[in-house]
């Protein structure tokens, strides 16, 4: 493979030299935000949505972005050209920066990394299993780098033969650590939790699908007892059917027709499978 | 000042070269633990307590420590000799390491940093003001690097003319982001929250002071209405009187006699003011 690059604060740096000083508040205090989007045939997918959210996350967390939106786009375009990875995931991270006292915010470090990603349709047919867990994420509306609880829970997930965890806040369903959660009711209503979650870009696209009627609402753990379908939505996975929750089959335990329809429409929005 | 060093994975590295790769899970996912202790006249204070907690935090978070306790002590001793900072704070950080997929744990990176610290008795006389905030820290019993919420709250703290925030979980008092909280009741009972907190080393020393009778218990926000004294305890601050909570004076608004007695006994335990 040819030399790969990342961006650190506006400079293209060979990936093996991509280091930051340990004074950075991401390392010292877990402080930072990011966003992540895909590229298909060298073109970013839903870039404007992701940049909107990136600047919004930075603003809420009091992190100034010195690069203008245009400058950021040019850095991304340059990185795509340099790395020559047509199908990829690109992550833009903004850290708390080099603090003078290990606590106060400083000038953030901006990191842009790219990795090859080949989308597979097999994952859809296989579906996933979830295990529920009582946890409310802190600052849920912001795409922070905080994944402490979910990585900590990996052994718990494995013990329950699940693929991921589904958080609920004392019975009110929220989200998975890296995706939004949807149900399809017996009455064919498509509902995703409204509050105290990260509002994903794929979630937004689903809520906007014409004629589908997907909506935000409250879902409790009890509501899961009798549903037709369930699925997760994320930039990485697009849509994956949830076939089991806490060991119990969802619907008939196979990918549902409404989930499949949404998946195919989203793939269409993205310009097909890469 | 002469050249200062840090330790990265067993090697002494000049502080300006102390960098790690951006693939580390602290930067990517806010995943890591640490501990922090003081040195006085070149000698670590309560080192065994801090090492006990460091290894415990690492174990809970599934992070292997490749260095034995003896090897870690030798690295610390070597750093103290090299840096020649007799009065200092030393921080040992263990990160999630260089993940292959940006999520799964890998071999941690061990970082040991030292900074000069001169203890001042003036801070005690000045005391501090706190503002309360409804928040339950995730994984509270582990000394993780997660300070996302507290750094995010800095503008809120400033707006309320406070020095720090005091967390409560729907009315049940917990702790400050970097210190434990104690009250002295009208009946001269000394109480600190028992549950869902980080158990600080200074807190432990106070609970162990002979004849003092300090104890763990539940304290609600309402209990703060009529108390004699309040104080915080931490490795950095030792003990600081809390003179105001949510803008209201605690007791007579001056450092209390019981707080002062505890402070002086702790300074004695540490072998005096450095």
| pLDDT tens digit sequence for B224-269 | 999 999 999 999 999 999 999 999 999 999 999 999 999 999 999 8
Mean pLDDT for B33-44 is 96
In chain B, which residues have their Cβ closer than 8 Å to the Cβ of A27? 20, 24, 26-27, 32, 93, 95, 111, 145
Q: What was the pLDDT predicted at A226?
A: 94
User: Is residue B160 predicted with pLDDT exceeding 70?
Assistant: yes
Q: How confident is the model at residue B1 (pLDDT cuts 50, 70, 90)?
A: low
Q: What was the pLDDT predicted at B274?
A: 63
User: Is residue B121 predicted with pLDDT exceeding 80?
Assistant: yes
Q: What was the pLDDT predicted at B271?
A: 79
The nearest alpha carbon in chain B to A27 belongs to B26
A18 at interface of B, judged by CB pairs closer than 8 A: yes
Sign of the C-alpha dihedral computed for residues B55, B198, B148 and A234 taken in this order:
positive
Mean pLDDT for B21-38 is 98
Mean pLDDT for A120-144 is 96
**Contact (Cβ atoms closer than 8 angstroms) between residue A110 and residue A94:** yes
Residue holding tokens 């509270």? B140
Tens-place pLDDT, residues A238-251: 999 999 999 999 99
d(CA A179, CA A237): 8
In the numeric block, which tokens belong to residue A200? 């994903």
Does B28 sit within 8 Å of A145, measured CB to CB? yes
Q: What was the pLDDT predicted at B226?
A: 93
Tens-place pLDDT, residues A111-121: 999 999 888 88
Sign of the C-alpha dihedral computed for residues A249, A255, A261 and A267 taken in this order:
positive
In the numeric block, which tokens belong to residue A100? 């003078």
Mean pLDDT for B103-121 is 92
Q: What was the pLDDT predicted at A101?
A: 87
How far is A163 from chain B, CA to nearest CA, in Å? 13
Which domains does chain A show, CATH number per domain? 5-116 (3.30.470.10), 122-269 (3.20.10.10)
Q: How confident is the model at residue A100 (pLDDT cuts 50, 70, 90)?
A: confident
B220 at interface of A, judged by CB pairs closer than 8 A: no
Does B19 sit within 8 Å of A20, measured CB to CB? yes
Mean pLDDT for B5-28 is 97
A1 at interface of B, judged by CB pairs closer than 8 A: no
Q: What was the pLDDT predicted at B126?
A: 96
Q: How confident is the model at residue B2 (pLDDT cuts 50, 70, 90)?
A: low
Percent share of chain B, pLDDT over 70: 99
In the numeric block, which tokens belong to residue B225? 């209405």
User: Is residue A217 predicted with pLDDT exceeding 90?
Assistant: yes
How far is B20 from chain A, CA to nearest CA, in Å? 5
Mutate to test the interface with A, among B144, B151, B198 (most CBs of A within 10 A): B151
How far is B47 from chain A, CA to nearest CA, in Å? 21
Q: What angle do CA B127, B130, B132 make, to 5 degrees?
A: 165
B103 at interface of A, judged by CB pairs closer than 8 A: yes
Q: What was the pLDDT predicted at B147?
A: 98
Task: Round the average pLDDT of chain B to a whole number and report it.
Answer: 96
**HEC readout, chain A:** CCCCEEEECCEEEEHHHCEEECCEHHHHHCCEEEEEEEEECCEECCHHHHHHHHHHHHHHCCCCCCCCHHHHHHHHHHHHHHHCCCCEEEEEEEECCECCCCCCCCCCCEEEEEEECCCCCHHHHHCEEEEEEECCCCCCCCCECCCHHHHHCHHHHHHCCCCEEEEEECCEECCECCEEEEEECCCCCEEEECCCCCCCHHHHHHHCCCCCCCEEECCEHHHHHHCCEEEEEECCCEEEEEEEECCEECCCCCCCHHHHHHHHHHHHHCCCCC
ipTM over 0.85: yes
Does B148 sit within 8 Å of A29, measured CB to CB? yes
Mutate to test the interface with B, among A15, A23, A29 (most CBs of B within 10 A): A29
Tens-place pLDDT, residues A12-71: 999 999 999 999 999 999 999 999 999 999 999 999 999 999 999 999 999 999 999 999
Q: What was the pLDDT predicted at B119?
A: 81
A25 at interface of B, judged by CB pairs closer than 8 A: yes
Sign of the C-alpha dihedral computed for residues B113, B264, B54 and B145 taken in this order:
negative
Does A26 sit within 8 Å of B30, measured CB to CB? yes
Neighbours of B224 (CB within 10 A): 20
């Amino acid at each position: 493979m040819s030399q790969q690059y990342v961006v650190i604060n506006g400079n293209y740096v060979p990936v093996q030299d991509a280091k930051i000083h340990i004074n950075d508040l991401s390392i010292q205090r877990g402080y930072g935000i990011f966003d992540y989007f895909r590229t298909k045939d060298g073109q970013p997918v839903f870039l404007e949505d992701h940049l909107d959210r990136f600047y919004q996350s930075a603003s809420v967390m009091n992190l100034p972005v010195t690069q203008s939106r245009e400058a950021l786009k040019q850095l991304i375009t340059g990185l795509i050209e340099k790395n020559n990875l047509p199908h990829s995931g690109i992550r833009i991270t903004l850290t708390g920066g080099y603090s003078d006292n290990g606590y106060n915010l400083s000038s953030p470090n901006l990191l842009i990394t790219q990795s090859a990603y080949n989308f597979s349709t097999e994952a859809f047919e296989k579906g996933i299993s979830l295990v529920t867990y009582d946890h409310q994420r802190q600052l849920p509306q912001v795409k922070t780098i905080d994944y402490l609880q979910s990585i900590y829970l990996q052994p718990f997930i494995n013990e329950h033969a699940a693929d991921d965890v589904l958080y609920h806040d004392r019975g009110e369903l929220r989200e998975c650590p890296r995706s939004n959660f949807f149900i399809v009711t017996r009455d064919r209503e498509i509902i995703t939790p409204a509050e105290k979650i990260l509002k994903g870009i794929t979630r937004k696209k689903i809520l906007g699908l014409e004629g589908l009627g997907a909506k935000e609402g409250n879902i409790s753990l009890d509501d899961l007892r009798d549903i037709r379908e369930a699925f997760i939505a994320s930039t990485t996975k697009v849509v994956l059917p949830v076939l089991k929750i806490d060991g119990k089959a969802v619907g008939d335990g196979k990918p549902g027709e409404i989930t499949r329809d949404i998946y195919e429409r989203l793939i269409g929005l993205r310009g097909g499978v890469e």
